[in-house]
Structures are given as C-alpha cells and as structure tokens.
Structure 1
Amino acid sequence: MANLLDTVDQRTNLVGQNRLELLLFHLQGRQLFAINVFKVKEVVKLPPLNKLPNSHPKISGVAAIRGQSIPVINLREAIGFRAMEVDDECNLIITEYNRTVQGFLVGKVEHIVNMTWSEIMHPPSTVGRNHYLTALTKLQQGDKEELVEIIDVEKVLAEIIEYDVSISEGVLDKDLVDDLIGVKILHVDDSSTARNQVKATLSQLGIEIIAVADGQQALDLLKSWIAQGKRVEDEILMLITDAEMPVMDGYKLTSEIRNNPDMSDLHIVLNTSLSGSFNQAMVEKVGCNALLSKFQPDGLVEMVQKKLKEKLNK
C-alpha cells in the first residue's frame, strides 16, 4: 500500500491545472468513496488501537505510527452509518487537515484516479443540508459507470474537534471597528462547514460575506459586476478562496482573475486545509497575495484588517 502513495510529493504539478487525484476506498460495501490525494500522508493496514477513556464516540482509538500517536476516526460512523467492523480488509488513511494529523478507519482501498475538477459535481440540492459529501463524480469501471462520493472531511472533523470561531483579545484593531462594518468579502469554498466558519468569524466585526461554492461561480459573479460597469475593488475588499473545489479550483480561479485586466488587481487570499510547501509555491506561481491555512480566526481577522488599512491608508 505504501507504493500507492510513493509519488504524492511529485504530484504537485497537477495543482494549478484544474486537476486533482482522488484516493478511492470502500466503507464495507460496494459504494466507492474518495478524498483528495493531497490530503493523504500515508495508507497502512490498520494497526492495533488503544482505547482512550472519555474520547469522542466516533474515535475508535489511537494508533502509534512512526512514534506519533494518531487519533483514528471511524469514518463510516462519522458520516452517519453504522460503525465499521474491523476485519482483514480494514486500512488506515492518515491525513493532514487544518494543521492536524488524524487517521480514518476505512475498508478496502482501491487505487488513485487522475481527474479534472470539471468532472467533479456538487451534490444535488435535494439531498438536504446534513449530508457529508463535498462533491460527486462518475468513473467508468469496465462496461458500467460508478458513482463516487467525495467526503466533506472538514465537516467530519468540525463535528469532532469543534473549532472555535472566537477572536482573541487584542487582535481587533480598535481604530478599525467602525470601518469594518459593511465591508464585503467574496468567500469561495465548496465545504458548507468552511463557509460557516468564515462567516461566523468575520460577521462578528460587521463584515458581510458573499459566499459561493466553487471557482466558476465566483468568476461568473465577478464578470457580472464588470458587465454592469462596476469596479470589482469597489464591490469587495478581497476574495478568500479554498484551493480544491468542483468545476474550478482556487488556483485556476486566481489565474483567470490575474489574466483579466478588469479584475487583475483584486486582493486574493488562499485559505486551505491542504498542507505542504507546494502550496506556497503555487501561491507565488498563480499570483495569490497571501496564504492562510485553515482554520485560524485570529489570522483571518488580521489579514482582513491589514488589507483594509492599506485601502484606507491608515
């Protein structure tokens, strides 16, 4: 299984080309699930787990991997099904999200597929708000087409970790309190959990969030303002975008904005749960103004205040 991910560090050339690679796996059934390879550190056979008293009920225990204690989340249970039973096909997908490392207990791990974000679809609105999918895609498996469900890991983790959206004392600049009220920011993220976290943080300051779910929606909105004769910089202070999203990712969105003279000066912050030095390199390559890893309420507020000060020359 280690060979499956030997070249993950070499796959960063896909980023910025609106492409991604998905790791496919099962949760003790025929249905295929997936997460982005860029969030995967390693895949191993499930090691012995140590139980922790009073831990979250969806945490099966702690695994000792290369000298590190890693909490193991029963992914099948975390997304609303009956808890997965441990058998010979069980594997542990070790991931890094939002600066934390955790393992997901899954069943059989299949393989990695290379796709474009344009092949990734949003879940239909008819499934409601409580599902744990960030996207769907279809794969041709022999003579039949199979649906792949891409899990919203940020939602899973938020229900276990409970991220705090409070702003630390001393972070808010008292001289900007009045100026922040009514400021508009365009936020692009396919995870409803991530959108809610940013809105809950910045709305405390009176900031208005315009939220969309993918890069194409954001680009269409920006172009509509231009078509109406509006200056993008007059409509919003900045754009905050996730990296990986269906239809159009954050890197491609940034590239499209920079190549359009009517919006090329827009301030863009890449806000991502993806870890690794490649992100900083991609920020520089496509032209983002700043990089902020999820989820940092204080860092988010400081970034907004810095840009507003520049605009107001304070």
Structure 2
Amino acid sequence: MPVNDASLLATVDARTKLAGSNKMEILLFSLGTRETFGINVFKVREVSQTPAITKTPNMPFGVEGVLSLRGNIIPVISLAKFLKGEQVASKYETMIVTEFNKSTQAFLVDSVDRIIRVDWDKVRAPENMMMSNSPAAQQNLITAITELDDGKLVSILDVEQILASVVGEARLPDVPQAQLEQHQYMFFVDDSVVARKEITGVLEKMGVKFQQATNGREAWERLQVLASRNWGEEGNLHDNLKIILVDAEMPEMDGYVLTRLIKSDQRFNGIPVIMHSSLSSNANRAMGSSVGVDAYVAKFDPAVLAETLIPFLQR
C-alpha cells in the first residue's frame, strides 16, 4: 500500500508494540533504479514533497543544501548522488526526514513505496547475498538486506555511516580510564561499521579490553559460549565479563530480544546490559526499559558513553 501521513504516524505510534517481538518495520523507497532500498521506520520522522532547498557554499559532496523545517535548519542529502559518487541529473521531489544520532536530516529519494513488517531473523547481513552490482554495496553502505514475497531484495542502508561520511567523524575527546583487572573485559554488538569503529575507539582510549559481534544472533551465540566456559582459577563469568553493550536494531536478532534472552538466563545475573542506539527518543528508551536494560545511551557521544560505562565497570 502507498505510504501516507496517516499510515506512517500509525506505524510510529505502534513502535512500543514491537519491543521484544523481533520484528522491524521498513519504509521502502526507490532512487530511480531497479534496486529497492529500505530504512527502519523508527528513524523516520516524516515523508513529504521536497520544498525549496537553499544552496550553500562549501557543502560536502552529496549535500544539496539546507532547508527550514518547523524553525530548524537541516541538511538535505541526495542519496542517489552520494551512493553513485557522481552528479545525478534527476530532480527528486520526495524527501524522507530522519531523526537519529541526535540529529535531523532529509534524504532526497525518487519515490516512496510502502511500509512492510518483517521478522529480524529474515533480515540478513549483506555478505550473505550477492549484492556486488549495487553501488551502495560496493561502498559498504548496506547494513542488511531482506527479501519481499515476490523475491525482490531490499537493501537497508547504513544511514549512520552515510551521515558520518557527509559530516565527518567526531574527534574522540579525553575520556576517563577504567581500572580493570587484566582478565576483565566487556562485550559489545553493533551491525554498523562506523558504530563499531567509534565504540572501539572509546574503549581503547579507556583501556578496556573487549569482544564484539556484528548482529544479535551472533552475539547471543558468543555469549552462550562464554557462559558455558569452565573458568577455573579465573573465577566466574561475572568476575570477567563486566558489561554487555547492545545496539537496538540489528539483523537476525534485535537488541530488545537479545537483552530479554540475557536477562532471562541466570548465568548472566549481575552483568549489566547497556543499550547504545541511534534511536534516542523517550519511546525507544521506554522500550529498552521494558526488556530490562540497565542504562540507555544515545549514539554517538563518546564522552557520555564513557561516563555511562565507568560506574558499571568499577563495580
């Protein structure tokens, strides 16, 4: 069904019902090619016709300019131009306004199709499918893919990486050092390349050892191995694994289901689970609380992430 304001708002209002259901809702759109793209509805603020864009000098490639939206000045990014790495002649009259990583921006697209609901376990990492002909895949800008009932593939864009590429990566500030024993570490999981790089940078600067995974299912499998390990003289799981840091939206298993599994397994009792997500609204925080997260940190503020981790690491 075509997307309209009513259907989009109804979907957004129903977000909390998806918490822990291992399902996601995707807004499908086109860039004027045969490829179908998608973005998590949780990141979508609205869809509208593109108003007048103000051209500004010295903007990064792919940024068409800025516009005023309800009193706020936001950047307008041409996804087609950014993905193809070249000038695009077509004028895109539809824009998707997104809100994540504490920022608001508009993405120009050719057309918006509809909203679909899929199980996270039907959303796969891109390396599991043949996507080499896609310009987005060639730039590693696809975070996941799924398949429609008619067999057509949907490429879910890593909009966090796109935004980081456009605005640049923030310089890591000074962060507090963690006073841990040699054998102690933390575990984190995130499907975004840029997010894993940023988290790694913070942990290394804090002097924290870590293990990592790229999706919820992989994380759960690795955590099961750790929980089943015979620790011997090293104590127990709780003495070694200090924190589990999870993303909210991930292929194959989302962070809400992963958190619920961890919290229902007595072997992880006392090990805090912190949710680190680009979805920073009160509704998303409430969703995290509903499955038992011990803290919620919005991406990406290195200082806030470090400040959140320190008290849990020092326990």
TM exceeds 0.5? yes
- Structure 2 unaligned regions, length at least 5: none
Residue among 137, 149, 152 paired with 1:140 = 149
Counting only pairs closer than 5 Å after superposition, residues 119-198 of structure 1 correspond to structure 2 as 119-124=122-127, 130-141=139-150, 145-168=151-174, 171-172=175-176, 176=178, 179=180, 183-198=184-199
The answer to whether 1:238 aligns with 2:239 is: no
Task: Tell me if the contact between 1:187 and 1:239 (Cα under 8 Å) persists in the aligned partners.
Answer: yes
The answer to whether 1:26 aligns with 2:30 is: yes
- Report the Cα distance in structure 2 between the residues aligned to 1:101 and 1:82, rounded to whole angstroms: 24
Instruction: Tell me the equivalent position of 2:274.
Output: 269
Instruction: Tell me the equivalent position of 2:296.
Output: 291
- Report the Cα distance in structure 2 between the residues aligned to 1:191 and 1:98, rounded to whole angstroms: 13
TM-score (ref. length: structure 2): 0.89
Instruction: Tell me the equivalent position of 2:46.
Output: 42
SS of alignment partner, residue 66 of structure 2: strand
The answer to whether 1:255 aligns with 2:264 is: no
Identity %: 33
Q: How far apart are residue 187 of structure 1 and its match?
A: 1.0
Instruction: Tell me the equivalent position of 1:52.
Output: 56
User: CA, structure 1 residues 111+234, in 2 after alignment: closer, same or farther (shift >3 Å)?
Assistant: same
Task: Tell me if the contact between 1:27 and 1:84 (Cα under 8 Å) persists in the aligned partners.
Answer: no
**Deviating 4+ runs (over 6 angstroms):** none
Instruction: Tell me the equivalent position of 1:112.
Output: 115
- Report the Cα distance in structure 2 between the residues aligned to 1:240 and 1:146, rounded to whole angstroms: 34
Q: How far apart are residue 129 of structure 1 and its match?
A: 7.8
- Structure 1 unaligned regions, length at least 5: none
- Equivalent pairs counted in the alignment come to 301
- Report the Cα distance in structure 1 between the residues aligned to 2:171 and 2:126, rounded to whole angstroms: 27
- Report the Cα distance in structure 2 between the residues aligned to 1:35 and 1:182, rounded to whole angstroms: 40
Deviations 1:222-255 (A, max 9, x none): 1112222243323321011100001110000000
Q: How far apart are residue 6 of structure 1 and its match?
A: 2.0
Instruction: Tell me the equivalent position of 1:213.
Output: 214
TM-align CA RMSD: 2.0
- Report the Cα distance in structure 1 between the residues aligned to 2:95 and 2:264, rounded to whole angstroms: 42
Residue among 6, 9, 13 paired with 1:6 = 9
